[in-house]
DNA sequence: ACGCGATTATTCGTATGCGAACAAATTTAG
DNA sequence: CTAAATTTGTTCGCATACGAATAATCGCGT
C-alpha cells in the first residue's frame, strides 16, 4: 500500500542538492560573496589576494612557482599576474640564471594592499564559518583539508 | 639556539593553505577534475549537467526559475542555456502566460545525455569523497550543507 | 658536445561567474 | 486605474579556469 504510493511518486533518486560537487560549488560561491563584501572596496579578488600574500611571504619567486603554490594553472596565472602588474602592485623581471623565468616581487602599493586585505581576512573566515560551532569548524577544516588534494 | 632560529624565521601568521576559502577552492578544483575525467567524453560540464538533471526532473521551467534552483546567476544562465540549446540538448519556447519568460524543456538528445551522465555521477561522488571514511563522509556532507547557504 | 625530453611563459578557445545597465512585460501600491 | 516597483531575459565588461598548442630555454644522459 505505502509501497505503491512510493513507487508511483518517488522523485529522482539523484538529488542535486545533496551532491558534494554542488555543495562545494555553493559553499565556494558563498565565500566569494563574503570576500567581495569585506574586501571588494580595495579592488582585489580572492586569487589576486592569494598571489599578493604569497609574494609578501616569499619575497621573490617565478611565475610558475607561485602558481603551483597557490594552485593556479599557468594559463590562468598569466592573466592574474598581468592585471596585478598593470596596476603596479607587483614587479616582473627576467631571471638572469634562467631566461625562461619571470621573477615576481611585491611593489610598495602591492604590499600596502596586501596588508590592508590581511586585516579583513580574519573576518572573512569568521563569517564564512559562522554557521558552525567552534568544534564543528575545526572538524570541517580538518576534513576539507583532506579533500583538497 | 633553536629558539633563536624560530624567532628569527617565524613565517607568516596567516597561512594561506589553512584558509577556508583556499581549501574550498582547491576541493572544488579537485572535484571538477574528477568530473572531467569521468564525464569529459560526453562533452558536458558540471553546470550543464546540473541544468539537464534539474530539467529532467521538472519537465518544464523558465530560465530564471531553473537558475535559482541550481544556484546560477541570470547572466551566467544565459550562456549555459544558449550553449545547450545550440547543441540541440534542450528546447526553448516563449511562455504564453508571461511573455517575459522562456520555457525550457529537455530534447531527446538531452535526456539521453543526462541519463548517461547520471550513471557516472555516483562514481564521481565516490572518488571525490574517497579520502574520507564513510563516517567522515557523512559528517563532512552534513557540515558542508550548512555552509552552502 | 649534442640531442632530446622537461620546464617556462604565452596564446587561443571555450566555459563559468557575477556586477551593472537595459528593455519589455507584469505586478503592486496608492 | 495608473504610476512605481519588480521580474525576466539580454548584453557588456572583467576575472577566473583550464586544455592544447607553441617557442624559447634548460638539463640531463650518452
Q: pLDDT category, B43, cuts 50, 70, 90? A: confident
Give A-chain residues touching B27 at CB under 8 angstroms: 24, 144, 147-148
Residue B134, exposed/middle/buried by CB under 10 A (0-12, 13-18, 19+)?
Answer: exposed
Average pLDDT over residues B72-95: 96
**Residue range A36-78, pLDDT digits in tens:** 999 877 689 999 999 999 999 999 999 999 999 999 999 999 9
Task: Using a 7 Å cut-off to protein CB atoms, list the covered nucleotides of chain D.
Answer: 7-13, 15-21, 24-27
Does A125 sit within 8 Å of B132, measured CB to CB? Answer: no
Give per-residue pLDDT as tens, A99-118.
Answer: 999 999 999 999 999 999 99
Nucleotide nearest to B83 (CA to C1'): C15
Query: What distance in Å separates residue B48's CA from the closest CA in chain A?
Result: 12
Cell representation of residue B24: 574550498
Answer whether residue B122 shows pLDDT above 80: yes
- Other C-beta atoms closer than 10 Å to the C-beta of B82 total 11
User: What's the pLDDT at A61?
Assistant: 97
Q: Residue B13: its pLDDT value, please?
A: 81
Q: What is the pLDDT of residues A12-24, one digit of tens each?
A: 788 999 999 999 9
**Is-contact B91 B52, C-beta < 8 A?**
no
Amino acid at each position: 500500500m505505502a509501497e505503491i504510493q512510493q513507487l508511483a511518486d518517488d522523485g529522482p533518486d539523484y538529488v542535486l542538492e545533496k551532491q558534494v560537487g554542488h555543495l562545494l560549488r555553493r559553499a565556494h560561491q558563498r565565500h566569494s560573496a563574503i570576500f567581495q563584501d569585506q574586501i571588494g572596496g580595495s579592488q582585489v579578488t580572492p586569487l589576486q589576494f592569494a598571489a599578493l600574500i604569497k609574494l609578501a611571504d616569499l619575497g621573490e619567486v617565478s611565475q610558475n612557482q607561485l602558481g603551483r603554490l597557490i594552485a593556479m594553472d599557468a594559463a590562468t596565472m598569466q592573466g592574474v599576474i598581468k592585471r596585478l602588474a598593470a596596476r603596479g602592485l607587483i614587479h616582473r623581471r627576467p631571471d638572469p640564471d634562467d631566461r625562461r623565468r619571470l621573477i615576481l616581487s611585491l611593489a610598495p602599493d602591492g604590499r600596502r594592499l596586501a596588508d590592508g586585505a590581511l586585516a579583513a581576512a580574519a573576518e572573512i573566515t569568521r563569517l564564512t564559518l559562522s554557521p558552525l560551532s567552534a568544534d564543528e569548524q575545526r572538524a570541517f577544516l580538518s576534513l576539507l583539508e583532506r579533500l583538497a588534494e
